[in-house]
Amino acid sequence: MAGQPLTLGVFLGSPGDVVEERRAARDVMRELAASHLLRGQVHFEVVAWDDPDASTPMEVGETPQVSVNRHSGRPAECDLTLVILWSRLGTRLPPGMTRPDGSRYASGTAWACEDARASKRPVYLYRPTIKPQIDLDDPAFDDKRAQYEAAKDESRWVSGGRR
């Protein structure tokens, strides 16, 4: 008789510009768990803000990140964190969500990376290789360029660089 499958908690962190990549990550984990080598041996429990099977309740008066942290789980509580970054780092967290030294996180994705690394959990990074296209006449050009640079900086930090 086979034992219980190993459950691996995977925190899936990213901003909203990588919807297809997030879907692909979930598909790969589902396929791995169903493969002939791992069937019945491994179960992936994905923790994500956009879980299609268990949406996060957003409490009145709370920021979305606080609700996600409370109801979905933190990277520090998972076995590993998978971060997907492309053209954006994400939305800046509210002033009340700060590091222990009082400085602000650049985004929920940046917070997730730091939370996982602080707990000595592995962090894996995926970056699509296709460069994002920005219309030179886009009124939000400067903001989009800044987001892209922030995502590149975060990628370097996750990969072992310094902040």
Question: Rounded to an integer, what distance in angstroms lies between the CA atom of residue 97 and that of residue 103?
Answer: 9
Report whether pLDDT(1) > 50.
no
Q: Which helix (H) or strand (E) holds 10?
A: strand 6-13
Question: Rounded to an integer, what distance in angstroms lies between the CA atom of residue 150 and that of residue 104?
Answer: 14
Question: Rounded to an integer, what distance in angstroms lies between the CA atom of residue 60 and that of residue 19?
Answer: 26
Report whether pLDDT(64) > 70.
no
| pLDDT tens column, 89-110 | 988 888 888 888 999 988 888 9
For residues 103-120, give the mean pLDDT: 90
Phi, psi of 20 (to 5 degrees): -65, -40
pTM, full prediction:
0.83
Bridge partner list, 36: none
Q: Strand 80-84's sheet: what is its strand order?
A: 42-47, 6-13, 80-84, 123-126
- Identify the CA nearest to 50 among candidates 39, 58, 42, 60: 58
Provide long-range contacts, Cβ within 8 A and 24+ apart, for 63-68: 63/93, 63/94, 63/96, 63/97, 64/108, 65/93, 65/94, 65/97, 65/108, 65/111, 66/97, 68/108
| pLDDT tens column, 24-37 | 999 999 999 999 98
